[in-house]
Amino acid sequence: MDHTTFYNCDGRPIAWVAEAGGHPSIYLYDGTPVAWISSNSIFAYSGKHLGWYQDGWIRDHAGDCVFFTSEAQGGPAKPARQARPARGARAARPARGAREARPARPARTTNWSRVTDESFFTQ
């Protein structure tokens, strides 16, 4: 998963993954660490559960698709992927807050989420 790119519903690269400290960390292209992945769940550094990572998709709490990778299977039609920007230097990762309990995983949909940009990580 190291250096996997997450694209939004317009095909714009939003974030990328780097293996770090036992769990993959998600960074925006300016180098800001925004989340980490644990057991297919996405957590903000505050500890808030944001969604799930499965079959190359990040899905929100409604089961809708937020971001996709080049290996994504199923889901809505994927747009052409735009060129990835240069990555900024990785900023130090903040301390991880206590993880929020994972909600029940909803059924997967073929819909795009209403939030498909960087703000997904700050909800």
10-68 residue pLDDT tens: 999 999 999 866 779 999 999 999 999 999 999 999 999 999 999 999 999 999 999 99
Across the range 98-102, mean pLDDT stands at 92
- The SS3 of residue 73 is coil
Looking at residue 3, its pLDDT comes to 74
pTM of the model: 0.92
Q: From residue 67, how far is each of 22, 83, 92, 101, 120 by CA, in Å?
A: 23, 15, 24, 22, 10
- The SS3 of residue 7 is strand
Looking at residue 23, its pLDDT comes to 75
For residues 102, 74, 28, 85, the Cα torsion angle rounded to the nearest 10 degrees is 180
Across the range 87-101, mean pLDDT stands at 91
Burial of 26 (0-12, 13-18, 19+ CB in 10 A): buried
Phi–psi pair at 115, nearest 5 degrees: -115, 110
pLDDT exceeds cutoff 60 at 91: yes
Across the range 113-118, mean pLDDT stands at 95
pLDDT exceeds cutoff 60 at 1: no
Closest by Cα among 11, 122, 3 to 68? 11
